[in-house]
Amino acid sequence: MHPNKHLLIALVFVLFSCKTNVFTGKKTLNFVPDSTLFPMAFTQYDQFLGENKVVTGTKESEMITRVGQKIKTAAQRWLNAIGEEKYLANYQWDYKLVQDETVNAWCMPGGKIVFYTGILPICQGETGVAIVMGHEVAHALANHGAQRMSASQVQALGAVGVAVGGQAAGASKESQQLINQAYGIGSQVGGMLPFSRAHETEADKIGLYLAAIAGYNPEEGARLWERMKSNNAGQAPPEFLSTHPSNDSRIANLKSLASEAIAEAAKYGVTSFQ
């Protein structure tokens, strides 16, 4: 097939795979339906729990559940307000604390949430947990997982087109390998990584709003990432090669967003925070 046809297929594929993000109003690339994504996520979640030590019956594990339920309620209130009452209909919420010193937490598509014990000292209490929880839940609510899967498939389709183009131009095998390698590096640094950084920034905003609506002080967002910065001192890659914004960029953004989150929470009658 002529390389231009590959590119045309990719363009048509992208054009008809855009959906509107209900939280931002932006068009996003997403052709992985929840009916496909959620069962995959739930299976992986069950497998993960079976292979790791889940902490139960402690104040910390109870806190994770309590905060998770509040963030879930905040999300539903937000969705109700924008006319998306059934958005969470297929979510199967669950909140687990896992014994692991890794500084991490995540929320799978469909509402499966895990906190590692290693992040709790940085959270320094329930409000910090809520900031992290809001951020991770925001990734799921904004369909970032489906968007990344969709973008990866488009990237792979583009690689096929480049390979065919190299063959059509009569390039040697060595040259074709260089072309393919250049495409992989170029698309990764120029496309996929900034795409991921955009997701992180978007999740910071949505997550801070969720935390505030749930009754948690959004000003804790910047303070938490200051602690994260100290914990990661000397370990972070340059921002342009990272899937996350730099710590300084993130802290500055969270500081500017705190007042917006407070104003958003006031729309729901929330005017005091813990």
Q: What is the pLDDT of residues 41-89, one digit of tens each?
A: 888 899 899 999 999 999 999 999 999 999 999 999 999 999 999 999 9
**pTM for the full predicted model:** 0.78
Lowest model confidence (mean pLDDT) among 19-28, 41-50, 220-229 = 19-28
- Note if 136 is an active site residue: yes
**Rg for the chain, CA atoms, rounded:** 21
Sequence-distant (≥ 6) Cβ neighbours of residue 29 within 8 angstroms? 14, 17, 18, 147, 150, 151, 154
Residue pointed to by tokens 């940085």: 122
DSSP-based three-state secondary structure for 74: helix
pLDDT of residue 10 exceeding 80:
no
Tokens for 110?
């469909």
Instruction: Give the C-alpha separation, 191 to 185, whole Å.
Output: 10
Q: Can you say how many angstroms the Cα of residue 130 is from the centroid of all Cα atoms in its chain?
A: 16
Of the residues 84, 101, 136, 260, only one is catalytic, namely: 136
* Selection from 164, 168, 145, 190 nearest residue 45 by Cα: 145
Task: Give per-residue pLDDT as tens, 228-249.
Answer: 999 987 676 555 445 677 889 9
Please provide the size of the chain in residues: 274
In this structure, the number of other CB atoms found within 10 A of the CB of residue 121 comes to 12
Measuring CA to CA, how many Å separate 127 from each of 53, 111, 191, 242?
24, 20, 34, 27
d(CA 136, CA 94): 13
Q: Which helix (H) or strand (E) covers residue 158, if one does?
A: helix 144-168
